[in-house]
Amino acid sequence: MTSLALHGVRGGLGRSALLAALGHALQGVGERVLLVDLCPSNLLGLHFNLPLDTREGWALAEREGRPYSDAMYEVLDGLCLMPFGNLPAGTRPPLPDAEAWRARQAELAEHFDWLLFDLPQLPTDTAGQSVETDVRVLVAEAEMASHLLLGRRQVEHYDLLLVNRYDPASRLQSDLLMVWRDLFRDRLPIQVVHRDEAFLEALAHKAPLGHYAPQSLACRDVQSLAVRCLTRRQS
């Protein structure tokens, strides 16, 4: 089993939508996939028609002393989802525990080919490493906030820079992408997912991108990302 996590240089970059789309793309080529939402905002399930106020989740199961697997939903054949869930009011959400998730990954390896983590926005790189994964993808947009925040990241900790919502008609975005390709040339591969209204429409339909708009440009980008992930695992 291969584990992968998406990290955002900031919030609001469409990380959950990307993870849902990647999971769907991997499932579409016959891989067994488990998506795990580690964010207290509990948004990942929205992409699979789970209500935002879904109470059940791994965090609640953990709090009540139940097996974490109690919170697992099979949303498609070969594609499962483990939401964060909703804790009782006033309860402080737990931070991801590296040791606990290491043990869980060992248990899940028999049942899944891919374990995909949606990580919360955390203040430092050291906090972002609280869950150990085989592949670490850093998500950014080609805009100045991401550019400035990338300067604070130790990019050698990541395997790929995923530039979401890329618009080649934007002079600023084109220039920033060129700067990043030069800046990270020998340290961090870059892949883009084009700006596409299909992402927003897919969420409105409570479905992953590949289910809602399989012929969209962004879907083809995510399928390319899935192929890249599979190639990396086989190498």
Percent of the chain surpassing pLDDT 90:
64
pLDDT for 126 equals 43
Mean pLDDT, the chain, whole residue set: 89
- Give dist(CA 155, CA 134) in Å, integer: 15
Q: Which residues contact 80 (CB under 8 A, 6 or more apart)?
A: 33, 34, 35, 72, 73, 74, 112
User: E strand or H helix at 209, and its extent?
Assistant: helix 209-212
Q: What is the C-alpha separation between 176 and 163, in angstroms, rounded?
A: 11
The answer to whether residue 106 scores a pLDDT higher than 70 is yes
Residue 178 burial by CB count (10 A; 0-12/13-18/19+): exposed, middle or buried? Answer: exposed
- Which pTM does this prediction carry? 0.91
Sketch out the chain's domains with CATH numbers. Answer: 2-234 (3.40.50.300)
Q: Which two tokens stand for residue 36?
A: 């795990």
Confidence class of residue 125 from pLDDT cuts 50, 70 and 90?
A: very low
Instruction: Locate 100 and state its tokens.
Output: 């606990």
**Closest among 230, 223, 232, 138 to 188, alpha carbons compared:** 138
pLDDT (tens digit per residue) in 42-60: 899 999 999 888 889 998 8
Cβ–Cβ < 8 Å for 165, 141? yes
